[in-house]
Amino acid sequence: MRKRISAGACLLLAAAWGLQALAQAPAAEDFPELRVTGVDQPAVTRGREVYRAQCVSCHAADQRGTRRGSDLSRSVLLYNDTTGAELGAFLKRQHGQQVERVSFPALTDAQASDGWKYLRASIRVVAARSYAPPSILVGDARAGQAYFNGKGRCSGCHSPTGDLAGIGARYEPPMLQGYILMPQRLPTPAVPGEAANARTLRATVSAPGAAPVTGELVRLTLFEVQITDLATGARRSWEIKDGQPKVAITDPLQGHYTVRRTLTDTDMHNLTAYLAGLK
């Protein structure tokens, strides 16, 4: 049975690791800074330099390993080493496969500690949800414009020189793309010229023997309905019993709900590219 990967079976480095390893190390500009909250950032930065100079040729810039050195993002030694002491002692011993066994007797405790902090931070970033995303703008803005004015029927409610003017500067692309499918009910910041409640759900409450009342929906359950009366601004509530009063909901954003049934991912990417360019 194959044993689980551990740093004891990895961290392969060239025997004459010093200058040779440095020669194979990526340039600093190709090896991005790792920034994670809740860590000793100066130590992580120093540890990154230790890793870049001495480890990366076998274990890769993303710690996932190469043919010469295995995947540190799954190193049990690193996960179990909660203080850095194990890694430091380990690196001073010989490790790696038989052909290329190496050790780092000259590694100082401070360097080992920095390297450990860098690797522990890297594991968190690589394995969890917080890895830095690449740009999501992969669509064709021209095709997006055609969709906006054609199949998507967006231009029936929106204008690139009106309510959407400058929208590409107001929102990051993922937020913008999300709003195509689920716009904010209460825009922040508000779209210029738009009423504060222009996007809220409307409820029309029809009680027997009374005139229907329309307002912004506050709450609707099987047992009660609450609205803010559009005419007076007052909060009003009704108990619902035996199906009375009747409540009808309308949604100013219904167009977004309708379009999502036919919207393809390509349409979405193109539309986002178009909107992101409205700056």
Please report, as ranges, the residues that interact with another protein according to CB under 8 A.
1-2, 4-5, 62, 64, 71, 73-74, 76, 79-80, 82, 123, 126-129, 131-139, 174, 177-178, 181-182, 185, 200-201, 216-223, 249, 257, 260-261, 263, 265, 268-269, 272
CA distance 222 to 208: 18
Nearest distance from C-beta of residue 172 to another protein, angstroms:
11
Question: Which spans in the chain are helix H?
Answer: 17-24, 41-54, 56-59, 76-80, 85-92, 109-127, 141-149, 167-170, 173-181, 254-259, 265-276
* Residue (121 or 126) nearer to another protein, CB: 126
* Residue (151 or 162) nearer to another protein, CB: 151
CA distance 69 to 75: 12
Per the listing, tokens 């380990």 go with 90
CA distance 254 to 173: 22
Nearest distance from C-beta of residue 154 to another protein, angstroms:
16
Nearest distance from C-beta of residue 105 to another protein, angstroms:
27
Nearest distance from C-beta of residue 106 to another protein, angstroms:
29
* Residue (18 or 219) nearer to another protein, CB: 219
Closest CA relative to residue 145, chosen from 163, 159, 131, 130? 159
Nearest distance from C-beta of residue 225 to another protein, angstroms:
9
Quickly count: other Cβ atoms within 10 Å of residue 244's Cβ: 12
DSSP state of 60: -
* Residue (105 or 133) nearer to another protein, CB: 133
Whether 58 contacts 11, CB under 8 Å:
yes
Nearest distance from C-beta of residue 13 to another protein, angstroms:
20
* Residue (46 or 65) nearer to another protein, CB: 65
* Residue (135 or 188) nearer to another protein, CB: 135
